[in-house]
Amino acid sequence: MSKLARHALEDGADPVDDLILQLSMARGIDEVMDVVRNNARALVGADGITFVLREDDKCFYADEDAISPLWKGQRFPVETCISGWAMINRQVVIIEDIYADDRIPHAAYRPTFVKSLTMVPVRMDDPVAAIGAYWARRHVPTNEQLRRLKRIANSAAVALTNVSLLDALIASREEAVRAKDAIIFAMASLAEVRDNETGNHIYRTQHYVRALAEAARPLFPELLDDAMIELIFKSAPLHDIGKIGVPDKILLKPGKLDAEEYAIMQTHAELGRRAIEAAEKRLGASTFLAVAKEIAFTHHERWDGSGYPRGLSKIDIPLSGRLMAIADVYDALVSERVYKKAIPHMEAVALIRSEKGKHFDPVLVDLFEATAPIFDEIHRQFIDP
């Protein structure tokens, strides 16, 4: 008596259970076939087992475990092989003497040991595969052998369905990530083209804000982990996306804005929030878009509450917005704009220091001063043409 059979007698377990458990954990079609190849022959008591996949009008003998080679790797037209017949007719086929049955392509069997076979479709209602059991002598499967073979086929069907669901899930997740990256890229380029006077502003601010966030990490260990810093870095280019909604005559005005124009310019924070919210509705909420929205909406708030759009103050302003405020202003100061000249790095640092506790978070200003040489370096690296 085999070990498995004895085990079954001892505790009443079905020896096929273990194979079914393994099948339920398979993560790919190859793993499903591995489990069947490694276990089915012994469990069924056959001389050979094949795993046949349906490929349109072909039957693909994908895998086998037999006392001598069968047809592994070969493809046969569905109409000419018995696995095809079983799948098309959704029936179990039992053939005691294969040479007496004209559904069998005898030429393909002559070089093999096979005298008898049983073929079971995988997924009875819409077969996607079949499992064959073969014997070197004339043999009709016992009820127990047939029961085991059917259980294996049914479990393989469930496993294959799970695998294809899993594959579809992974594919759609990858697709969503690709689509999101493409949309972010498109949005950021749009913002850049629209705000072209500032050249590399979006790239520079992205790098400044990451440098500052890295420096701030020890002070905010709960808020600024690797993932969050990466999110801030990736979403920073969208901070001025709302400028798409500000008219050219204001955006590109060579002089100072009057009160009314300035008020329109300020709407870019709210417009940015709405644009990203619209993207969230289309793409589904994500931490990336949530951070992007936060930065777009709060990068003009001021520590003392005198900023816009909501006049938030102190730590009511999200950390990402407080970080971005320094990066954004530093870049505006050291870059030439249509309405003003650039000022030297050291003057910009002094100006930001003078706004400590007024415009900017005092703690972040200290960190900015410590990291200022990196800001200077980034500015040189992404210099406007």
Q: Which residues bind Fe ion (CB under 5 A)?
A: 240, 328
> Least distance in Å: CB of 296 to Fe ion?
8
Q: Which of 100, 93, 98, 121 is nearest to 108 (CA)?
A: 98
What order of strands is seen across the sheet that includes strand 75-77?
75-77, 58-66, 48-55, 129-135, 116-122, 93-95
Token pair belonging to 143 = 């009820």
CA–CA–CA angle 207, 212, 217 (5° rounding): 125
> Least distance in Å: CB of 226 to Fe ion?
25
* Cβ nearer to Fe ion, comparing 47 with 328: 328
> Least distance in Å: CB of 293 to Fe ion?
14
Distance CA 8, CA 3 (A): 9
* Cβ nearer to Fe ion, comparing 192 with 240: 240
> Least distance in Å: CB of 269 to Fe ion?
6
* Cβ nearer to Fe ion, comparing 159 with 241: 241
> Least distance in Å: CB of 317 to Fe ion?
14
* Cβ nearer to Fe ion, comparing 202 with 367: 202
> Least distance in Å: CB of 266 to Fe ion?
9
Backbone CA torsion sign across 160, 163, 167, 173: positive
* Cβ nearer to Fe ion, comparing 116 with 205: 205
* Cβ nearer to Fe ion, comparing 65 with 240: 240
Type of residue numbered 229: I
Give DSSP secondary structure letters for 185-214: HHHHHHHHHHTGGGTTHHHHHHHHHHHHHH
> Least distance in Å: CB of 308 to Fe ion?
10
- Residues paired with 117 in a beta bridge: 95, 134
* Cβ nearer to Fe ion, comparing 240 with 301: 240
Token pair belonging to 307 = 């900023």
CA distances (Å), origin 330, targets 110, 157, 191, 193, 221: 83, 62, 19, 21, 25
